[in-house]
Amino acid sequence: MPAAPVPRSIEAFLHAAHPAVMATIRPSGAPHSVACWYEWRDGRFLLTLDQSRARLRYLQADPRVSLTVLDGQDWYRQVSLFGTVEESYVDEGLVDADRIAQRYTGTDYLTRDSARVSVWVRVDRWHGWDSTGDNKVTDAAWLD
């Protein structure tokens, strides 16, 4: 797996609102994965998590996380990002949640009765895959 930073063409892919799956580590060491929305900015990704969710507790206990971003048109075209929580804070007024919801749905985040925590993850390593099955994705493989 290449070390960060990801190439610019892959960053362009990450800036789009693609489906994603995040994975955390349970206290038992088993993985825990869930579908999610994200935002990519400055070599990091942002997640907003309901404060009551297990995934947040798992990240608080072990800050390692991965995010796999799938091309909505070709799910064999994907990028997995591996990193560590670098910053987290209560999302006052759901500012981050609204911004991410706007990316995916064009409207503010609908659930307004539960606090959310924003989590910024520093990417350490990444891995890409394209629809040809070539797991040695190069910058050129991602150009349209």
pLDDT digits (tens, 9 = 90+) for 55-83: 999 999 999 999 999 998 887 899 999 99
Distance CA 34, CA 49 (A): 11
> For 6, which DSSP code?
P
How far apart are alpha carbons 64 and 39 in whole angstroms?
18
pLDDT the model gives residue 131: 63
Lowest mean per-residue pLDDT among 20-24, 70-74, 83-87, 120-124:
70-74
The CA-based angle 68-64-83, given to 5 degrees, is 55
The pLDDT value recorded for residue 8 is: 87
What average pLDDT score do residues 82-87 get?
97
Split at pLDDT 50, 70, 90, the class of 137 is low
How much is the pLDDT for 9?
A: 84
Q: What is the pLDDT of residue 142?
A: 46
Specify the 3-state DSSP secondary structure of 132.
coil
Rounded to the nearest 5°, which phi and psi values hold at 141? -65, -20
Which pLDDT score is estimated for 144?
Answer: 38
In whole numbers, what is the pLDDT of the chain averaged over residues? 90
First to last CA, the chain: 23
Distance CA 35, CA 16 (A): 16
Band (126; pLDDT cuts 50, 70, 90)? very high
Predicted structure pTM score: 0.88
pLDDT recorded at residue 143: 39
Domains in the chain, please, with CATH?
A: 8-132 (2.30.110.10)
DSSP alpha helix (H) spans, 1-144: 8-15, 54-61, 95-105
